[in-house]
């Protein structure tokens, strides 16, 4: 814990804040969830744009929270070391905002739709990692074989786009796609030397 705080302070504070707020909303003060939800119908009409951020610090259940924070822990610490805390924080917070935009557009006239969770921002961090380290092996919990990051990323995007069109279940696949794509765009636009690094990885320079 001490090394996490000293080596990756931004990741630590994002983890701590999200875990505390989510657990308080789940078990101590449930009205916090209703206040912080991203409800596009309400957001557009009441101009409650803060929901694009607050919804990312809330989760539907402990399992939802665990998966997102587990992913953030492993990839956030690496990315903070690589690009620095300032850029990681910018990536994460803008990832939350960008990931919510498709929901605002798609469900702005649906008073019953609501979404929450850090998946979009976590996806931004994950795909920023994939962009920088495309051949790095990533192991999934149920598949104990390293899969090249770029292959995993393509499969993830293809599935999320397909599932989004099916409109089944309660998973916000639009946020997953938007967050993932933004993670790569953010690095290219704002983090110095990203393009040179990518060209070097693929042997183009």
Q: What is the mean pLDDT of each run of 10 residues along the chain (205 residues)?
A: 79 98 98 96 97 97 95 96 97 98 94 94 97 88 80 88 67 89 97 88 73
Bridge partners of residue 115, in order along the sequence: 38
pLDDT at residue 141, rounded to an integer = 65
Asked if 110 and 91 count as a contact pair (C-beta separation under 8 A), the reply is no
Fold of 2-201: Rhomboid-like fold (1.20.1540)
Contact 95, 124 (CB under 8 A): yes
Q: How far apart are CA 57 and CA 40, in angstroms?
A: 17
Number of residues assigned to the chain: 205
Report the pLDDT value the prediction gives residue 26, as an integer from 0 to 100.
97
Spans of all domains in the chain: 2-201
- Cα distances from 19 to residues 7, 16, 119, 150, 188, in angstroms, run 20, 5, 14, 29, 30
Residue 142, pLDDT score: 67
Give me the phi and psi of 204, to 5 degrees please. Answer: -95, -10
Binning the chain into helix, strand and coil, the percentages to the nearest 5 are 75, 5, 20
The reported pTM is 0.93
pLDDT score, position 139: 77
Give the model's pLDDT for residue 146.
86
Report the pLDDT value the prediction gives residue 198, as an integer from 0 to 100.
Answer: 84
């Amino acid at each position: 814990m001490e090394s996490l705080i000293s080596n990756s302070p931004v990741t630590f504070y994002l983890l701590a804040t999200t875990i505390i707020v989510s657990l308080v909303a789940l078990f101590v003060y449930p009205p916090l969830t209703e206040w912080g939800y991203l409800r596009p119908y309400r957001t557009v009409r009441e101009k409650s744009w803060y929901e694009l951020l607050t919804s990312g610090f809330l989760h539907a259940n402990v399992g939802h929270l665990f998966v997102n924070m587990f992913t953030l822990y492993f990839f956030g610490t690496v990315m903070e070391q690589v690009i620095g805390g300032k850029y990681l924080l910018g990536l994460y917070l803008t990832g939350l905002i960008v990931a919510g935009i498709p929901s605002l557009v798609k469900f702005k006239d649906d008073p019953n739709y609501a979404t929450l969770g850090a998946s979009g921002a976590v996806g931004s961090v994950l795909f920023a990692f994939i962009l920088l380290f495309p051949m790095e092996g990533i192991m999934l919990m149920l598949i104990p074989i390293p899969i090249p990051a770029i292959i995993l990323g393509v499969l993830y995007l293809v599935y999320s786009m397909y599932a989004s069109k099916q409109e089944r279940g309660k998973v916000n696949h639009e946020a997953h796609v938007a967050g993932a794509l933004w993670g790569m765009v953010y690095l290219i636009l704002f983090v110095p030397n990203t393009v040179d690094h990518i060209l070097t990885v693929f042997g183009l320079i």
